[in-house]
Amino acid sequence: MKKNVSGCSVEEAMRVIGGRWRLLLVSYLLDGSKRFNELRRDMPDISQRVLTLELRALEEAGLIVRTVYPEVPPRVEYRLSDDGERLRPVVEVVKTFGLWLKARPEPQDAE
């Protein structure tokens, strides 16, 4: 992950949860643990490679926990850590904002 250059707390938060997929991944994990392919089904437009990279970044940040079960074939589940649960209100605010954006009239072009 890139490093925070301004020292701003908003930049620090966006460094960890920014981008197209990370907060969306967190939102899907708010309901409980999921396997890799469940997340792929929830997010059909994400590539396998990008999903893997985003999950690793969230795990590195301490926001999700990856559990590998000793089975054949191995079963891997992802869940939010206690720190990741702190994102619940953030997801709710972003969801509310998204609903507002979808409901508002399209801005008119200035002529």
pLDDT per residue as tens digits for the range 64-94:
999 999 999 889 999 999 999 999 999 999 9
Find the CATH number of the domain harbouring 25: 1.10.10.10
In a domain, residue 109? The reply is: no
Query: Which residues constitute the domain of residue 89?
Result: 11-103
In a domain, residue 2? The reply is: no
Which of residues 108 and 33 earns the better pLDDT score?
33
In a domain, residue 89? The reply is: yes
pLDDT at 11: 86
State how far the Cα of 68 lies from the Cα of 42, in Å rounded to an integer: 21
In a domain, residue 6? The reply is: no
In a domain, residue 45? The reply is: yes
Residue 21 has pLDDT above 80, yes or no: yes
Judged by phi (left if over 0) then psi (alpha if -120 to 50, else beta), residue 18 lies in beta
pLDDT at 111: 59
pLDDT at 83: 96
Binned at pLDDT 50, 70 and 90, residue 8 comes out as: confident
pLDDT per residue as tens digits for the range 25-75:
999 999 999 999 999 999 999 999 999 999 999 999 999 999 999 999 889
In a domain, residue 1? The reply is: no
Counting the structural domains of the chain, the total is 1
In a domain, residue 5? The reply is: no
Binned at pLDDT 50, 70 and 90, residue 4 comes out as: low
In a domain, residue 35? The reply is: yes
